[in-house]
Structure 1
Amino acid sequence: MTEHGAAMVWIPGQTAILGSDSHYPEEAPAHPVTVDGFWMQPTQVTNLEFAEFVAATGYVTAAERPVNPADHPGAPRENLQPGSMVFTRTGGPVDLRHLNLWWTWTPGASWRHPVGPASSIDKRLDHPVVHVGYEDAESYAAWAGLELPTEAEWETAARGGLTAATYTWGDVPEQPGRQLANYWHGDFPWRPDRGYGRTRPVGSFPPNRYGLFDMAGNVWEWTTDWYGDRRDYQPCCAAESYDAKQPQFEVPRRVVKGGSFLCADSYCQRYRPAARRPQPVDTGMSHIGFRCVKR
């Protein structure tokens, strides 16, 4: 089956063990989930593919839209401009408890300008599109006649039929000389090894057993599930997904999966199928993209 690019991959219906009891608490408990068969794009949606959507529809992403000051009372003036969050390497080792040391609000950053207003996608057309919020990804999927995956669909596909495996390729960590995924190699967040520390063209690393590329690393991917703090609790609605630690921000959060080029073993070992994190639906970043399914 072919949809907007490479032939889609069939993911057979099955009962898979999803989640993990051995890593971060939000991944627990590991439990069986039955998923019907579906088709999935083998790669993350690229800049070229997203550009075709924008050219056909005139769509404007959340990162490019004018900001209404009334929606952000008390926000600094410099933040009341269209823009997005961009990863910026630090000058040396830093306290890894403070994300603001390597994330920078960047006016003018968007999918067209992935690292700031002076950058472009001209040489990154085969890289995954980034700086897309949930609505942006959902709009692309609808235009393409596709949908976004559920967390269970995404994780089942990422596991490639390997029961409860730690990684998309099995239980053994990547060994020296074996390049299996685009996650952070080197000293985070300041000194990546050669060839790492940024997005890579989709399909640069070996696929999993289902023929899916970059199900570990490169960029995080949106799913349709509202975020809950455990795998045995599924919020019923947007309001139940709010961050209880930041009640002043009533922004729904969805689950993103797969990790990104910023996942470092020393900091965030989340390039595993079971790993997950919450993402505010209105916020794109330079390490978040998506891929689609057809049911």
Structure 2
Amino acid sequence: MLKINLVLGLALLSACAGNPSKQATAGKERDTLNKMVLIPAGSFLMGADDSTGMADEYPKHRVDIASFWMDEHEVTKAEFARFVDATGYVTTAEQPIGKAELMASLPPGTPEPDSATLATMMAPGALVFTPPDHAVPFNDISQWWSFVPGTSWKHPEGPSSNIANRDHEPVTQVSWLDAQAYAKWAGKRLPTEAEWEYAARGGLSGQLYPWGNEPLTTGKAKANTWNGNFPYKNTKTDGYYSTAPVKSYSPNGYQLYDMAGNVWEWCEDWYDANYYIQGEKGVKNPAGPAEGLDPDDPGQAKRVIRGGSYMCSDEYCRGYRVSARMKSTPESGLSNLGFRCVRSAN
């Protein structure tokens, strides 16, 4: 069973308050963070550009976006470490879950697990990509995901792993709550889903990817994705098996890096599979639905994640398309999930 590590969002968001000396240090640290790129105001058609999209990517609809600043690349492990050092922040994955909270997160009527299973599920940790050595059905994600106690942003592949010499790789195993806390400390925020897609398109109209319509496998490597047969064989044609250092591939038209592949990125919005159908057309700066609704898992409200990851491929997950939508619970930490920040221009 996949663990959902629940914590109080308010406590997490206020954890960066710290003491005055730490706040002074934080100000200096923020000055050396991710360079930001000014994204010009404009209008675009949001949603799938051809018939390959999923149902939640239709209908295509016009959206107007005000100008904003966006991090040129995903927040790195080194940048997140500065935040933690400056504030003493403790991430979701590093905190144990209470029994009452755990049971509340499970489907109604679920019997209480035995004591050994319960102890494992309540321990601090996160989900780790644990690929098999053979082909498996794509309808059972437990074939390649495992909850591993002791996993965190400092130990992203499990307690025996670390982040030494990986400063320039995107931080992973961070929840939406963790991303929010970092953004608040940095004087930024998470992008709305509409801002994210508009920025990912890089000024192109009606194109499938941040670089245009050229297939991912044609020409030089364009993004860090899965090459070979998912999930058991990665030929590393793009140069990497898992996360790549940021800025390893060419930027899009707005000079943003890794808007496709590498790691999924948290957005501000709740996820609603029917939002495009029900939403107001021609809206300016949409903030997303008021609450989350995932028909595949109605008991868990989720936040939007965008951009695909190193685990995406044509045969399994084409999440690197600019219109592709995915979702995850706000408390989730994953091996292939990170974030980048934005700031309003006005």
- TM-score tier, shorter chain, comes to over 0.9
- Greater helix share, 1 or 2? 2
In the TM superposition, what whole-angstrom CA distance separates every residue of 1:11-42 from its partner, at most 9, and x where no partner exists?
A: 00000111115211111111110000000000
In the TM superposition, what whole-angstrom CA distance separates every residue of 1:131-162 from its partner, at most 9, and x where no partner exists?
A: 11111000000000001000000000000000
Q: CA RMSD in A?
A: 1.6
**Counterpart for residue 210 of structure 1:** 254
Q: Does structure 1 residue 7 correspond to structure 2 residue 49? A: no
Q: Which amino acid is the alignment partner of residue 67 of structure 1? A: I
Match of 2:70 among 33, 40, 49: 40
| Secondary structure at the counterpart of residue 335 of structure 2 | coil
In the TM superposition, what whole-angstrom CA distance separates every residue of 1:225-261 from its partner, at most 9, and x where no partner exists?
A: 11111323356433xx1434444x4x32111000000
Q: Which amino acid is the alignment partner of residue 321 of structure 2? A: R
User: Please, which runs of 5 or more residues in structure 2 have no aligned partner?
Assistant: 1-29, 104-111, 280-287
Change (3 A) 1:56 1:209: same
The alpha-carbon deviation at position 178 of structure 1 amounts to: 0.9
Q: Does structure 1 residue 183 correspond to structure 2 residue 225? A: yes
Q: Is the 8 A contact 1:185 1:196 kept in 2?
A: no
Q: How many residues align?
A: 290
In the TM superposition, what whole-angstrom CA distance separates every residue of 1:72-130 from its partner, at most 9, and x where no partner exists?
A: 12353222100000111111111111111000111111100010001001121111001
Mapped to 1, the partners of 2:65 and 2:181 lie a distance apart of 24
Q: Is the 8 A contact 2:273 2:294 kept in 1?
A: no
Mapped to 1, the partners of 2:318 and 2:220 lie a distance apart of 18
The alpha-carbon deviation at position 176 of structure 1 amounts to: 4.2
Match of 1:219 among 263, 267, 271: 263
| Secondary structure at the counterpart of residue 72 of structure 1 | helix
Q: Is the 8 A contact 2:34 2:75 kept in 1?
A: no
Mapped to 2, the partners of 1:229 and 1:28 lie a distance apart of 10
Q: How does 1:8-87 map to 2 (within 5 A)?
A: 8-20=36-48, 22=51, 23-73=53-103, 74-75=112-113, 76-77=117-118, 78-87=120-129
**Counterpart for residue 241 of structure 2:** 197
Q: Is the 8 A contact 1:219 1:260 kept in 2?
A: yes
TM-score, length basis structure 1: 0.94
The alpha-carbon deviation at position 209 of structure 1 amounts to: 0.7
**Counterpart for residue 268 of structure 1:** 317
Mapped to 1, the partners of 2:250 and 2:172 lie a distance apart of 22
Match of 1:109 among 141, 148, 151: 151
**Counterpart for residue 128 of structure 1:** 170
The alpha-carbon deviation at position 4 of structure 1 amounts to: 3.9
| Secondary structure at the counterpart of residue 160 of structure 2 | coil
The alpha-carbon deviation at position 284 of structure 1 amounts to: 1.3
The alpha-carbon deviation at position 6 of structure 1 amounts to: 4.0
Runs of 4+ in 1 over 6 A off after TM superposition: none
**Counterpart for residue 252 of structure 1:** 301
Q: Is the 8 A contact 1:6 1:42 kept in 2?
A: yes
Q: Which amino acid is the alignment partner of residue 14 of structure 1? A: G
| Secondary structure at the counterpart of residue 53 of structure 1 | helix
TM-score, length basis structure 2: 0.81
Q: Is the 8 A contact 2:131 2:232 kept in 1?
A: yes
Q: Which amino acid is the alignment partner of residue 250 of structure 2? A: P
Q: Which amino acid is the alignment partner of residue 215 of structure 2? A: P
**Counterpart for residue 168 of structure 1:** 210
| Secondary structure at the counterpart of residue 232 of structure 1 | helix
